[in-house]
Amino acid sequence: MPVSAPDIYDLRTKAPGPMGKLPLTPEMLIERPSGDIFGLTQNAGMGWNPSELGRKQFLILSTQGGLRAPNGEPIALGYHTGHWEIALQVQAAAETFRELKTIPFAAFCSDPCDGRTQGTTGMFDSLPYRNDAAILFRRLARSLPTRSGVMGIATCDKGLPAMMMALAGLHDLPTILVPGGVTLPPEHGEDAGAVQTIGARFARGLLTLDEAAELGCRACGTPGGGCQFLGTAATSQVVGEALGLSLPHSALAPSGEMVWRDIAVQSARALAELDQRGIKSR
């Protein structure tokens, strides 16, 4: 294989490591689990200021998918618009936790789209994903034993029910759900529900090839968010709000808009307050 760069093998074998000291006490070293102490080492290794490592920790779980450049261009596509921009909400929440002098953690379990798998054997994995992901989200939450609360960010009818089940299962922690919002409809065209019938309509002579191609291209009017019609994805967001898992009026915000980002900010503040008041999910 050709070498990608002439200096590819000029690599380091040691590094000085982070400067500073962990905020340890004799009691911590004697009484706390070794994992708590090693977790501080990992936190310093990832670049967090060692002097701040004694602060409370909050975990942000999400269904982020794809790899998006800072300017919004795709580096690697996700499975659907519903999880494409969620990292922006994760970032907004994390920055808020930091402003509150706490430490945010983020972990991910991406989700599928049954619109993409319709007519294929991938549909066999659509509904089971909910249960599998709910288990995985709970495992991720338990795998950060020092977290004081958990925020879940999800959008569509696979990832969002999975997240709701996971948060509901974290009985002894404060939790909050952040809905991932919706993609805008096109100014001229059809929503993401109607557009899924362009094949059938073309076969019956109800659309020309050019009409089908144009409608299919435009249906997702903006890059992020779930389907615009009140299908199972949008309904899941409404149900999450009705159950009291998410803040009032937070369902179905247009993805990428200021109000959508602010929902993540306000949710982070609300979760910190739930922890302060001792209000848990049970």
Share of the chain above pLDDT 90, in %: 95
User: Does domain 55-184+222-276 correspond to CATH entry 3.40.50?
Assistant: yes
Mean pLDDT of the chain: 97
DSSP string, 140-183: HHHTSTTEEEEEEEE-STTHHHHHHHHHHT-TTS-EEEEE--BP
What is the C-alpha separation between 171 and 173, in angstroms, rounded? 6
The beta strands (E) that lie in 69-225 are given as 74-76, 103-108, 147-154, 175-179
**Residue boundaries of the structural domains of the chain:** 55-184+222-276, 186-221
Is the separation of the CB atoms in 18 and 44 below 8 Å? yes
Give the model confidence (pLDDT) of 232-274 as tens digits. Answer: 999 999 999 999 999 999 999 999 999 999 999 999 999 999 9
Average pLDDT over residues 164-182: 98
Q: Report pLDDT for 212.
A: 98
pLDDT for residue 60: 99
| Residue 44, token pair as written in the block | 């310093």
57-76 residue pLDDT tens: 999 999 999 999 999 999 99
Instruction: Supply the angle between the helices 232-242 and 159-168 in degrees, to the nearest 10.
Output: 20
Q: Would you say 97 and 103 are in contact if contact means Cβ atoms under 8 Å apart? A: yes
